[in-house]
Amino acid sequence: MLLTRNRRRALLAGVVTVATAALGIGLSTQFASAQTTLRGAADALNKDIGVAVSYNLLQNNAQYRNTVATEFNSLTAENAMKWDATEPSDGNYTFTQADAIVDFAEDNGQSVHGHTFVWHSQTPSWVQGLSGTALQNAMVDHINTVANRYEGRVDSWDVVNEVVSDSGGALRSSFWLNGLGEGYITTAFQTARAADPSADLYINDYSIEGDNAKSDRVYSIAQGLVNQGLLDGVGFQSHLILGQVPSDMEANLQRFVNLGLKVRITELDIRMTLPADATKLAQQASDYQRVANICKNLADCSGITVWGLRDGDSWVPGVFPGQGAPLLFNDDFSKKSAYTSVLNAWGGTVTNPTTTPITTSPPPTGSGCTATLSVQSPWNTGATYAGTVRANQNLTGWRVTWTWPGSERISNAWSIQGTLTGAAVTGTNVGYNGTVAAGQTTTFGFNITKADGSTASVPTVTCTPI
Ligand code: G2I
């Protein structure tokens, strides 16, 4: 519930340094410059800006982790909490991936919107082969087990997903409906409510952004659930097509708000025919801005989750050949115009990274390798640094040392390990960045705190091959 999220955020005032224990990396978010990130802008509006994340990318890509932690205050597992991931065979639960995502969110002060308990897709065949009581028991057991595990850690759940047929008039014909009858929806919500009374419960669907037969059907289901005290919100997936944000989207969401519900844009992407060009990207930015404004205008819009970080991470090209480029970030993590338009809509402004003053340390010493530090983003009581190691010969490992001249101390670091937290720093490569060919560079990074509030300094670094 919002209370849970607010309580967590309240702990995060000021500059927050966080570590992702499960993934072995430290990250930091600078709230002092809050309005220059989506996360800062969303925090200021008390809304969620979420992203659907991939376990593999969180595990393996430091820049992905950093961007997810810096730009978003809410996470959804793109696949890791679905039934096929959490209970692939009857009663055998596997939570490695889901746990890692929830741990990451917790370590970075982010809320989690859970996706999803009951869906006709990505549900293992052992479930689909059941009927009657056995099917109902499997559903109840699954919801109980997953909801109980994450009670107090997952703030809201898509309890049922895509239960209305595309034509809209009827419930979707699925093994759920065929096996249990339409009461399965109520049973799912009753089970989820009892399992985690503090979580907000959502019904989630696509092509319901405008007022149409399908959203009418969701509306009547929502009404019934509201009357039983079982529903808190409606998720509008919003897998949109360029230039086709429904003109009545805000009015449509408003009618659900009028039922006493929250609304949420749960899976936003806006696809275009490839290749992208300047005209299409500008249209996309305008479309994203409209959606962001709709959520901003509605006090009961709990937030927006974009369905993936970078264009290349998106499900769209695989399902709609020739379509794509639907998200906010390019594959090199640079920000698209759509990013800027969302940030602006939510009251933030983009800072051009090339104009950020970067201070680089004096000429390095060492022969087999040399290293420099640069201050990427300073704030009152800390700073984020980037370190670069240049190989002057083929390296299979490296050590860097320096001494802080003042009160600077490393609070967390990534892509480097060693004795890091004192005045005298000795750091070595981690597993993946020790081998560097002559002439090539590799990087590491860290955050510092500086108790006296002085300017962050850039000491000379000594680099030694090991
Ligand atoms: O289809 C887009 C979304 C529509 N609403 C519900 C969402 O849960 C759904 O997400 C997508 C994921 O973005 C895809 O990543 O759901 C797909 C499955 O229906 C996901 O794709 C699947 C692939 O089809 C599998 O081959 C793959 O093993 O992802 C799996 C895990 O990577």
249 C-alpha to ligand 1 centroid (Å): 25
Whole-number Å distance between alpha carbons of 137 and 378: 55
Please report the pLDDT score of residue 168 as a whole number.
Answer: 87
Residue of the CA atom closest to atom 9 of ligand 1? 78
CATH 1.25.40.10 fits 356-465, yes or no: no
The CATH 2.60.40.290 domain(s) of the chain lie at 356-465
Q: How many angstroms separate the Cα of 224 from the Cα of each of 33, 163, 219, 265, 343?
A: 44, 15, 9, 22, 36
Residue among 58, 315, 319 to mutate when testing ligand 1 (max atoms within 8 A of CB): 315
Atom from ligand 1 closest to the CA of residue 206: 5
Q: Is 123 in the pocket of ligand 1 (CB under 6 A)?
A: no
460 C-alpha to ligand 1 centroid (Å): 48
Q: Is 175 in the pocket of ligand 1 (CB under 6 A)?
A: no
User: What residue ranges of the chain have pLDDT lower than 50?
Assistant: 1-34, 353-356
Atom from ligand 1 closest to the CA of residue 85: 31
Q: Is 158 in the pocket of ligand 1 (CB under 6 A)?
A: no
Residue among 51, 55, 57, 78 to mutate when testing ligand 1 (max atoms within 8 A of CB): 78
Residue 449 buriedness (CB in 10 A; 0-12 / 13-18 / 19+): middle
Query: Counting every residue, how long is the chain?
Result: 466
213 C-alpha to ligand 1 centroid (Å): 25
Whole-number Å distance between alpha carbons of 191 and 193: 5
Which residues are part of the catalytic machinery? 162, 267
Whole-number Å distance between alpha carbons of 454 and 462: 24
Q: Is 79 in the pocket of ligand 1 (CB under 6 A)?
A: yes
| Residues 6 or more apart in contact with residue 258 via CB below 8 angstroms | none
59 C-alpha to ligand 1 centroid (Å): 19
Q: Is 267 in the pocket of ligand 1 (CB under 6 A)?
A: yes
Q: Is 237 in the pocket of ligand 1 (CB under 6 A)?
A: yes
Residue type, 3: L
Q: Give the distance, in angstroms, between the CA of residue 26 and the centroid of all CA atoms in the same chain.
A: 16
Please report the pLDDT score of residue 22 as a whole number.
Answer: 38
Atom from ligand 1 closest to the CA of residue 82: 8
Q: Is 200 in the pocket of ligand 1 (CB under 6 A)?
A: no
pTM for the predicted model, two decimal places: 0.75
Q: Shortest CA distance to 15 belongs to which of 2, 1, 34? A: 34
160 C-alpha to ligand 1 centroid (Å): 16
Give bridge partners of residue 202 from the DSSP assignment: 158, 233
Please report the pLDDT score of residue 244 as a whole number.
Answer: 98
Q: Give the distance, in angstroms, between the CA of residue 383 and the centroid of all CA atoms in the same chain.
A: 23
Q: Is 315 in the pocket of ligand 1 (CB under 6 A)?
A: yes
Q: How many angstroms separate the Cα of 349 from the Cα of each of 296, 339, 352, 455, 461?
A: 16, 10, 10, 25, 35
CATH of domain 35-345: 3.20.20.80
Residue of the CA atom closest to atom 27 of ligand 1? 79
166 C-alpha to ligand 1 centroid (Å): 18
Please report the pLDDT score of residue 441 as a whole number.
Answer: 87
The CATH 3.20.20.80 domain(s) of the chain lie at 35-345
Angle between helices 132-149 and 184-195 (to 10 degrees): 30
414 C-alpha to ligand 1 centroid (Å): 30
- Give the model confidence (pLDDT) of 152-211 as tens digits: 999 999 999 999 999 988 999 999 999 999 999 999 999 999 999 999 999 999 999 999
